[in-house]
Structure formats: C-alpha cells, structure tokens
C-alpha cells in the first residue's frame, strides 16, 4: 500500500496455492487455480486471423462449442474487427452479429465473454447471458460503458488502448512502454472504480498490438508482474494476455526474405508465449486455438507450483478432468 488516498479498494483476492504461488480469482468466473484459457470467436468478415470463418451464427456457435470441448474456459465473442486500420461498424450490425451467438453459447452452459467497446452491445450481451465484458478501449470509446458495467455487476477487462484501429499505430510512441502502459491502465482502472465498478471485478490487459510496435509487445510480455501492480506495494490485478496470432509473432518467425509467417503458422509460437505468460502469473490467455494452449497453461501451473516448492498435482491447478 502506498497510502494514496485515491487508491481504489483493491483488485480481486488472490487464491493461495500450496507452496506460496497465488492467482487472482475473479468472482463469477472459473477459478481452477491455473491460468485460464479464453477461446476467441470473431463473428466478423475481416478479423486479423480468422475473419470470415465464423461469420454466420451457426458457424460461430459451432466454433465456440468446439473451443470449449478443446479446453477453453471462457468463450470471447466479438462482432467488430479491431485489426490495425479497421473501420467501425454500426451498433445495430454488431448486435446482429453477436446476439444469437452469445445466446446460443450461454444456453449451452458455457462461460461467455463479449468483446465490445459499446455499452449498448455489452448490455444486450449480458442480458443474453454473457458473464464478462471485454472492452479493448478500457471505457474510452463509449462514455456509457463504465456505468453500464458498474450497474451490471459483471467482471470487466480494461485493456490498454490509445484510439480506434484506423489510426492507432500512429500512436505507438513510448519513452518507457511498460511504465506508460501501466500508468495509462491505472487511470482507466481509477475511472472505472470512480464510476462504481467493483475493483474485485477488474482484469487488466496490456493490449498487445494496439498502438504497439513489436518491440513494445515484447517488452510488455516480459514484464507482466510489473504491469499487474498498478501501484507500488499494492496487490496485483489479474492480467489477460492477448498475443495469439498477432503480427509481431509472424514477424519474429519471418522467412529468410523477410516475409512474415502467415497466421496459420503462428499457433505453435502462440503456445510457447502462453506457457511463458502463464508461468509469469498471467490470469488468462486469449487464444484462437484451444487444445495446445490448454495443455500449456497446465504445464505452467505445474512449473509455478514446483518452483514454489509444492509437489502435489492439486497445487499445480489439476482440474476435475484429471488432466494434471
Ligand atoms: N485482441 C484482439 C481483440 N480483442 N481483447 C483483449 N482483451 N485483448 C486483446 O489483446 C485483444 C482483444 C484482436 O485480436 P483478433 O482480431 O485476432 O481477435
């Protein structure tokens, strides 16, 4: 604690694991004692890596069920592409895309998250059964979002964001990216709490690829524990990491002539990043392919538990399916 009078009440309580490692548990969401896996369903014609693949409601619902069967704990449904340069769609179109998908997946008993910057879409999705609002703008895009989330009482992902996709890469200027992202996240968390959002329901996200160059993404990835502590000495907030299939991975794996690796070929590297992020204490990874990432978070949980001196599978987040 810093004694700062403006400091909000605090992030979610951390569940102690035998051996001393801890992971925050967010009320209303799964808490298996390991990093969670969020599977992505983009109901868009133009997303980064999977645009157009799941653009009908039936295809998107089928994809969500498939991701859950392969080990995703949460299914994140989005209707608006945020790839660099993307323009906006109307709220009506966004609702048309995601409404039946959220309803169908929630009715099937899955934990559904809605990926939206709009309060009206978040409200409809929560009404349809979504348990988490994932706002890549951290409440900046829609002035009604924070009060909506506060009233709904659902967990809220506050991502680091500097503006809409059409011009965001022009804002990728940092003197110290970790410090600036953390400072800007703290401002957004404070705004959310001031609007009535329970700090125990807040998850933070460094926003990989959003107003970030590859070197910024790598710096953020390697310093997740620092980012999670928005104030010196304060308890950490849960951190969500969305690295899956992003361009900085394709650039790392570029061919000899410099051609970036296509999205389809970057899933193995995503799994490597999942293991590293989860071992560093990430609360959740947002991924497009579930099975190998679900294995990776279990490896990381065991790694953390062993490093902390625990030896039992339970300490490593072994789950009911006996996968530990
Ligand atoms: N990335 C995308 C979309 N939504 N949400 C969060 N919380 N974090 C992210 O990094 C994130 C996100 C863009 O990726 P996609 O178009 O490949 O799904």
What pLDDT digit, counting tens, does each position of 78-95 carry?
Answer: 999 887 777 889 999 999
Among protein residues, the one whose CA lies closest to atom 9 of ligand 1: 242
pLDDT given for residue 323 in this prediction: 30
Average pLDDT (158-166) is: 92
**With bands split at pLDDT 50, 70 and 90, how would you rate the model's confidence at 214?**
very high
**pTM strictly above 0.85:** yes
Query: Out of 246, 247, 298, 302, which one is annotated catalytic?
Result: 246
pLDDT given for residue 218 in this prediction: 98
Kindly state if the Cβ of 119 falls inside 6 Å of ligand 1: no
pLDDT given for residue 317 in this prediction: 44
- Asked if pLDDT for residue 284 goes beyond 80, the answer is yes
Average pLDDT (101-106) is: 98
How far does residue 204's CA lie from ligand 1's centre (Å)? 13
Q: Which residues contact 287 (CB under 8 A, 6 or more apart)?
A: 37, 38, 39, 40, 72, 244, 270, 274, 293
pLDDT given for residue 5 in this prediction: 41
Is 52 within 8 Å of 97 (Cβ atoms)?
A: no
How far does residue 83's CA lie from ligand 1's centre (Å)? 9
Q: Which atom of ligand 1 is nearest to the CA of 207?
A: 10
**With bands split at pLDDT 50, 70 and 90, how would you rate the model's confidence at 98?**
very high
- Asked if pLDDT for residue 316 goes beyond 80, the answer is no
Kindly state if the Cβ of 206 falls inside 6 Å of ligand 1: no
pLDDT given for residue 319 in this prediction: 40
Q: Which atom of ligand 1 is nearest to the CA of 134?
A: 7
Query: Out of 212, 286, 302, 304, which one is annotated catalytic?
Result: 286
Higher per-residue confidence, 119 vs 8: 119
Average pLDDT (35-54) is: 85
- Asked if pLDDT for residue 321 goes beyond 70, the answer is no
pLDDT given for residue 148 in this prediction: 98
- Asked if pLDDT for residue 2 goes beyond 60, the answer is no
pLDDT given for residue 24 in this prediction: 86
Kindly state if the Cβ of 97 falls inside 6 Å of ligand 1: no
Among protein residues, the one whose CA lies closest to atom 17 of ligand 1: 48
How far does residue 240's CA lie from ligand 1's centre (Å)? 10
pLDDT given for residue 25 in this prediction: 92
**With bands split at pLDDT 50, 70 and 90, how would you rate the model's confidence at 48?**
low
Q: Are strands 284-287 and 36-42 parallel, antiparallel or unpaired?
A: parallel
Higher per-residue confidence, 7 vs 147: 147
pLDDT given for residue 243 in this prediction: 98
Burial class (CB in 10 A: 0-12, 13-18, 19+), 65: middle
- Asked if pLDDT for residue 132 goes beyond 70, the answer is yes
Kindly state if the Cβ of 159 falls inside 6 Å of ligand 1: yes
Is 121 within 8 Å of 172 (Cβ atoms)?
A: no
How far does residue 305's CA lie from ligand 1's centre (Å)? 29
Task: Write the DSSP symbol of residue 314.
Answer: G
What pLDDT digit, counting tens, does each position of 152-161 carry?
Answer: 999 999 999 9
Kindly state if the Cβ of 83 falls inside 6 Å of ligand 1: yes
- Asked if pLDDT for residue 114 goes beyond 60, the answer is yes
Q: What are phi and psi of 63, to 5 degrees?
A: -65, -40
Kindly state if the Cβ of 54 falls inside 6 Å of ligand 1: no
How far does residue 242's CA lie from ligand 1's centre (Å)? 6
Kindly state if the Cβ of 103 falls inside 6 Å of ligand 1: no
Kindly state if the Cβ of 286 falls inside 6 Å of ligand 1: yes
How far apart, in whole angstroms, are the C-alpha atoms of residue 107 and residue 146? 26
Kindly state if the Cβ of 220 falls inside 6 Å of ligand 1: no
Q: Which of 37, 54, 136 to mutate to test the pocket of ligand 1 (most atoms within 8 A of CB)?
A: 136
How far does residue 42's CA lie from ligand 1's centre (Å)? 9
Q: Which CATH number fits domain 14-316: 3.50.50.60, 3.20.20.20, 3.40.50.720, 3.40.50.300?
A: 3.20.20.20
Report the phi/psi class of residue 173: left, alpha or beta, with left for phi > 0 and alpha for psi in -120 to 50.
beta
Active site residue 286: yes
């Amino acid at each position: 604690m810093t004694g700062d009078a403006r400091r909000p009440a605090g992030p979610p309580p951390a569940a102690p694991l035998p051996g001393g490692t801890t992971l925050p548990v967010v009320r209303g969401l799964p808490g298996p004692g390991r990093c969670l896996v969020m599977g992505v369903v983009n109901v868009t014609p133009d997303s980064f890596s999977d645009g157009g693949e799941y653009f009908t409601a039936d295809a998107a619902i089928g994809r969500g069920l498939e991701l859950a069967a392969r080990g995703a704990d949460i299914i994140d449904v989005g209707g608006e592409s945020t790839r660099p340069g993307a323009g906006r769609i109307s709220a009506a179109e966004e609702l048309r895309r995601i409404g039946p998908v959220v309803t169908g997946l929630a009715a099937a008993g899955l934990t559904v998250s809605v990926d939206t910057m709009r309060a009206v879409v978040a409200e409809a999705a929560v009404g349809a059964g979504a348990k988490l609002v994932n706002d890549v703008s951290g409440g900046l895009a829609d002035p009604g979002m924070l009060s909506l989330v506060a009233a709904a009482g659902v967990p809220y992902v506050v991502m680091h964001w500097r503006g809409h996709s059409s011009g965001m890469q022009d804002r990728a200027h940092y003197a110290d990216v970790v410090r600036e992202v953390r400072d800007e996240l703290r401002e957004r968390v404070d705004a959310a709490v001031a609007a009535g959002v329970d700090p125990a329901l807040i998850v933070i996200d460094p926003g990989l690829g959003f107003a970030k160059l590859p070197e910024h993404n790598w710096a953020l990835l390697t310093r997740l524990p620092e980012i999670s502590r928005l104030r010196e000495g304060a308890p950490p907030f849960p951190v969500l990491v969305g690295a899956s299939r992003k361009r900085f991975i394709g650039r790392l794996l570029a061919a000899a002539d410099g051609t970036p690796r296509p999205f389809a070929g970057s899933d193995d590297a995503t799994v490597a990043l999942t293991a590293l992020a989860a071992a560093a204490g990430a609360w959740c990874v947002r991924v497009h392919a579930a099975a190998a990432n679900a294995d990776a978070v279990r490896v990381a949980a065991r790694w953390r538990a062993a490093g902390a001196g625990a030896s039992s599978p339970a300490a490593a987040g072994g789950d009911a399916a006996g996968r530990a």
